[in-house]
Amino acid sequence: MVSKKVVVNNKTGLHARPASSLVSFVKKFKGCTVSIVNGEKKANAASIINVLTLGAKQGTELEVIVEGENEEVALDEIVKFIETLEE
């Protein structure tokens, strides 16, 4: 298991469209389980409903946790994706 913190830079946060893009991106890492933590809330990153419940707005610091095959590579790619996420 590996984890890293990332700040949401997207001006609208992780609302429907960016959350959907993130979920689609995460699903390409077949051998991994990806979770995103916002304070006390933890979400399965492969579920749009779960991601939306995080209520992540611009400036929110999230923790991305990855377990499974090539977890370090997956973690780096997912963090980079969140950092560069746009509308």
Catalytic residues: 15
Q: What angle do CA 6, 7, 12 make, to 5 degrees?
A: 135
Helical ranges in 1-87 per DSSP H: 16-26, 48-52, 71-84
Contact present, 25 and 46 (Cβ < 8 Å): no
